[in-house]
């Protein structure tokens, strides 16, 4: 068996065993096997193989989280324990200031929060609270998610909690295939900084905004707590496991899915559509004009 064959076999096994929509796995495998039989993957370097297979996976099933990823550094072949993965993500979040890139008071007493990722709630909580404390005196707020690459559901829950009173707002549900359990996410009753209530909020989006950043935008839009300005987001709504299938290759398998309690669906494959559609580079100025 060639290396490419072993990678494809292992990736398809993982997708069949774990993908959140098991009824779609047969069509996914048929597509990849058909392309393999055509010789579509012959002679490719591993990085190129990942790109080609990812395109074919998403052609068979338009799920942005369903991918083969190539890593320049070799990865351990043992599946990463959950606690190790959590520690790695928390370290990454800490190195990126828990996603809080910029907090500013703009002219007209408009607050500005630039979020590049959604950190886990426990380690990120103090940074979230520090940002919201600084923004508390402003008359309106712009949350910039144009460069937000995603993050943790509990982090989204904590950020959303700052924009609603009390703990009685149902934000999102996540269904997990492995356990069959649906976990509900509601606003939190206790926060470490003042809530941002009774003032206008505008969220900026782009075609780059993804995953947890999309959930934050989607929740606030569905609950009519914010106006979205910018571009339709990338469209990735499924929490995902990363599993090594070769020293330099991982398959990412969506193992759960979001279910918004207001819409009954999510943004997978379609993205979050803003109320005010403008090019991403014009979104901030457009938002400022809305708020002035």
- What DSSP string runs through 24-35? GHHHHHHHHHHH
My answer on whether 19 and 120 are in the same domain is: no
Taking phi over 0 as left and psi of -120 to 50 as alpha, with beta for the rest, 129 belongs to alpha
pLDDT at 19 over 70: yes
Q: Is residue 245 included in any domain, yes or no?
A: no
What is the C-alpha separation between 111 and 132, in angstroms, rounded?
10
Q: What is the CATH number of the domain that holds 145?
A: 3.90.226.10
* Main-chain phi, psi angles of 143, to 5 degrees: -105, 115
Percent of the chain predicted with pLDDT > 90? 89
pLDDT of residue 78: 75
My answer on whether 40 and 158 are in the same domain is: no
Distances (CA, A) of 26 to 30, 36, 57, 159, 238: 6, 15, 12, 38, 19
| Domain membership of residue 167 as a residue range | 96-236+271-291
My answer on whether 132 and 223 are in the same domain is: yes
My answer on whether 221 and 143 are in the same domain is: yes
Q: pTM of the prediction?
A: 0.89
Q: Is residue 176 included in any domain, yes or no?
A: yes
My answer on whether 51 and 119 are in the same domain is: no
Helix %, strand %, coil % of the chain (to 5): 40, 20, 40
Q: Is residue 193 included in any domain, yes or no?
A: yes
Q: Is residue 78 included in any domain, yes or no?
A: no
Give pLDDT tens digits for 170-224.
999 999 999 999 999 999 999 999 999 999 999 999 999 999 999 999 999 999 9
Contact between 132 and 162 (Cβ < 8 Å): yes
pLDDT at 107 over 80: yes
My answer on whether 179 and 277 are in the same domain is: yes
Q: Is residue 73 included in any domain, yes or no?
A: no
pLDDT band, very low/low/confident/very high, at 1 (cuts 50, 70, 90)? low
């Amino acid at each position: 068996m060639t290396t490419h064959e072993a990678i494809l076999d292992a990736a398809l096994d993982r997708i069949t065993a774990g993908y959140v929509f098991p009824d779609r796995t047969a069509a996914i495998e048929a597509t990849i096997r058909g392309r393999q039989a055509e010789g579509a993957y012959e002679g490719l370097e591993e990085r190129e193989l990942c790109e080609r297979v990812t395109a074919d996976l998403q052609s068979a099933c338009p799920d942005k989280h369903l991918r083969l990823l190539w890593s320049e550094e070799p990865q351990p072949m043992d599946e990463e324990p959950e606690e190790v993965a959590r520690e790695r993500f928390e370290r990454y979040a800490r190195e990126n200031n828990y996603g809080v890139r910029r907090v500013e008071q703009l002219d007209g007493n408009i607050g500005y929060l630039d979020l590049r990722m959604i950190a886990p709630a426990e380690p990120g909580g103090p940074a979230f609270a520090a940002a919201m404390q600084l923004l508390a005196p402003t008359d309106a707020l712009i949350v910039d998610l144009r460069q937000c690459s995603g993050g943790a559901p509990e982090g989204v829950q904590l950020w959303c909690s700052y924009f609603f009173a009390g703990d009685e707002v149902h934000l999102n549900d996540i269904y997990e295939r492995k356990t069959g359990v649906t976990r509900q996410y509601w606003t939190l009753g206790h926060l470490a900084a003042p809530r941002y209530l009774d003032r206008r909020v505008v969220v900026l989006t782009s075609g780059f905004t993804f995953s947890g950043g999309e959930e934050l935008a989607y929740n606030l839009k569905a609950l009519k707590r914010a106006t979205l300005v910018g571009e339709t987001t990338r469209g990735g709504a499924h929490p995902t496991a990363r599993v090594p299938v070769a020293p330099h290759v991982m398959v990412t398998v969506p193992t759960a899915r979001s279910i918004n309690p207001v819409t009954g669906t999510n943004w997978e494959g379609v993205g979050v559509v803003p109320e005010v559609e403008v090019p991403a580079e014009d979104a901030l100025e457009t938002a400022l004009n809305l708020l002035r």
